[in-house]
Structure 1
């Protein structure tokens, strides 16, 4: 709520509009935002009883219950009046940021499909919640399960015409980077899933998938942001590149993580040339000393990174 509130406050100053939401209509009279609601009781009074029941089901651990509830949520977003659906918005960031990372791929796909229905109904009223959602939305677009990734991309395209997508990401760039850095540097399999209820194998699989998606999401962010916006992130990115933990992903036990790391290394060479040159003592060993990696999943990304590194660092 605090970040949503801050975003709402910023948007109010910008007369209720947000870069990228031009696709939703630009008449100042109909632009506005749903203020962040602080107390759960207040939120409850705003949320339609049927929606409230579905939202409760979404917090259940049982996969079938969650999947059915998410599908039901999408149908309700499609069928109910916009004013009713808007009452769900203060709840949505917390739900979306959790369930979009769910271990079950069908749940993740259904989440993105339902999000599309929510966007189509609430349109510009999603604006105050963008900053708290966008990092997870970008991760979802890089999902290793392609139907889930495709559904997240479709939702993104429905929210923003392609010409406005870079602006929308620039609007949320700091929040996105915070989420990605937390996943790459702080989170563990035990912080992302409850060790008391989730088996170790499932916890680890989810963690490795989120690492992979976070590396790819950072690559996507760099490739889509306007150049001047990338420049404004350099200080934060320098702190990421100064961490030994980041460079160790080049030797990670999971091929998908290694591959995503090398894809990101190529992106750094393309979009942050000076930064890469400054970090040459870390970049060169991480990339060039990995050329004996023979895994078929890793090789295409690795060799592209080798070429970019050699071309960038003289």
Structure 2
């Protein structure tokens, strides 16, 4: 009696339970010191880290050259780094970032409303945490099926980039790929807001220059969407059922094709590298050509549109790929019975 051990809750694997003191023990002292001295720089470095062990895959921040393209393998997934960001000295912004990173769409919608007000009220210097986190948050919003969330994200984006002006340069190569994708969102209000923000940020003579500067990261992003992602890799099955994942996938792939058409049509030939390594690599992918006879009409239409653009602006690419063109397009696509695809199909055939 009286000498027995106290009952202590067991922890799986005999691991020590998490706590703020335990986290402090594990933290890199240099990182802690950097957070205290320069929280914005420290947070930016945190965003640029990859994941190890069980961490979530993360969407890239721009590297020091401004051409970072280490995109997430599942863009819909909340970012574990953003959820745990702290020590910045800006408690209001830390809380807002955590809300923006939640899974629940309604929480994120309310957080975006708060973000609009916050961005309008703060100076550029007081928006550094949001600025560095924004490309990740924005690309998550681009993937969601919630129309209201996508519209609000683009409204915030317009306000933020307009306020940042030239200060957007460090994140532009990371932000522009999903931003360009959203130019072609099937919801008119969303697409118009995305384009409006771009036109407010860049004067007419600067718009093409921005695409040229970020071409590499844009092509990386579009290639992954078109050739690598599936519905399950693009959207976490825990966040959406199979039907919703399918609809999101079809929208993202279709918009990616349309963004690619825009890139081919807009960037002058002498502004592409010779040869066009990234574009040629995409055109040599079987999965690119398979989209010409994909089961979804929205994907087939946009794929036909790319072929039309290539015929007009980069015909030598098709001249050297007659085997692809003959098998995927001439033999299969011409059998397309869906009348909603026939205009784009006819244009691709007759140009």
* Pair in the same fold by TM > 0.5: yes
Q: Which of 217, 220, 223 is 1:175 aligned to?
A: 217
Q: Which of 198, 203, 228 is 1:186 aligned to?
A: 228
**1:176-217 deviation per Cα after TM superposition (whole angstroms, max 9, x unaligned):** 000010111111111111123421111111111111011111
SS of 1:196's equivalent? coil
Note closer, same or farther for the CA distance 1:265–1:90 as it changes in structure 2 (3 Å cut): same
Give, in angstroms, the shift of residue 288 of structure 1.
3.0
- Between structures 1 and 2, the one with greater helix share: 1
In the alignment, structure 1 residue 153 sits paired with structure 2 residue 195: yes
Give, in angstroms, the shift of residue 5 of structure 1.
3.5
In the alignment, structure 1 residue 108 sits paired with structure 2 residue 150: yes
* CA distance in structure 2 between the aligned counterparts of 1:163 and 1:9, rounded to whole angstroms: 21
* CA distance in structure 2 between the aligned counterparts of 1:41 and 1:279, rounded to whole angstroms: 46
Give, in angstroms, the shift of residue 160 of structure 1.
0.8
In the alignment, structure 1 residue 307 sits paired with structure 2 residue 350: yes
SS of 1:270's equivalent? helix
Moved more, 161-170 or 229-238: 229-238
Q: Which of 260, 282, 297 is 2:340 aligned to?
A: 297
* CA distance in structure 2 between the aligned counterparts of 1:155 and 1:143, rounded to whole angstroms: 14
Give, in angstroms, the shift of residue 287 of structure 1.
3.2
Note closer, same or farther for the CA distance 1:74–1:174 as it changes in structure 2 (3 Å cut): same
SS of 1:195's equivalent? coil
SS of 2:63's equivalent? helix
Note closer, same or farther for the CA distance 1:292–1:240 as it changes in structure 2 (3 Å cut): same
Moved more, 110-119 or 294-303: 294-303
Note closer, same or farther for the CA distance 1:47–1:88 as it changes in structure 2 (3 Å cut): farther
* CA distance in structure 2 between the aligned counterparts of 1:266 and 1:284, rounded to whole angstroms: 15
Note closer, same or farther for the CA distance 1:50–1:152 as it changes in structure 2 (3 Å cut): same
Q: Which of 109, 119, 142 is 1:67 aligned to?
A: 109
Highest RCO, 1 vs 2 (Cα 8 Å, sep ≥ 6): 1
Note closer, same or farther for the CA distance 1:111–1:213 as it changes in structure 2 (3 Å cut): same
* CA distance in structure 1 between the aligned counterparts of 2:90 and 2:183, rounded to whole angstroms: 30
In the alignment, what sits opposite 1:6?
Answer: 64
Note closer, same or farther for the CA distance 1:260–1:306 as it changes in structure 2 (3 Å cut): same
For the 8 Å contact 2:108–2:149, the answer to whether it is kept is yes
SS of 2:252's equivalent? helix
For the 8 Å contact 1:251–1:258, the answer to whether it is kept is yes
* CA distance in structure 2 between the aligned counterparts of 1:185 and 1:204, rounded to whole angstroms: 15
* CA distance in structure 1 between the aligned counterparts of 2:239 and 2:253, rounded to whole angstroms: 21
Q: Which of 234, 237, 258 is 1:216 aligned to?
A: 258
* CA distance in structure 2 between the aligned counterparts of 1:233 and 1:118, rounded to whole angstroms: 36
Note closer, same or farther for the CA distance 1:56–1:171 as it changes in structure 2 (3 Å cut): same
Note closer, same or farther for the CA distance 1:227–1:47 as it changes in structure 2 (3 Å cut): farther
Q: Which of 171, 183, 186 is 1:141 aligned to?
A: 183
In the alignment, what sits opposite 1:30?
Answer: none
* Alignment gaps of 5+ in structure 2: 1-46, 49-60, 69-80
1:1-314 alignment runs, 5 A limit: 1-2=47-48, 3-7=61-65, 44-46=86-88, 48-232=90-274, 234-289=276-331, 290-308=333-351
For the 8 Å contact 2:83–2:98, the answer to whether it is kept is no
Note closer, same or farther for the CA distance 1:9–1:247 as it changes in structure 2 (3 Å cut): closer
Note closer, same or farther for the CA distance 1:264–1:200 as it changes in structure 2 (3 Å cut): same
* CA distance in structure 1 between the aligned counterparts of 2:83 and 2:178, rounded to whole angstroms: 27
State the number of aligned residues: 280
Moved more, 89-98 or 173-182: 89-98
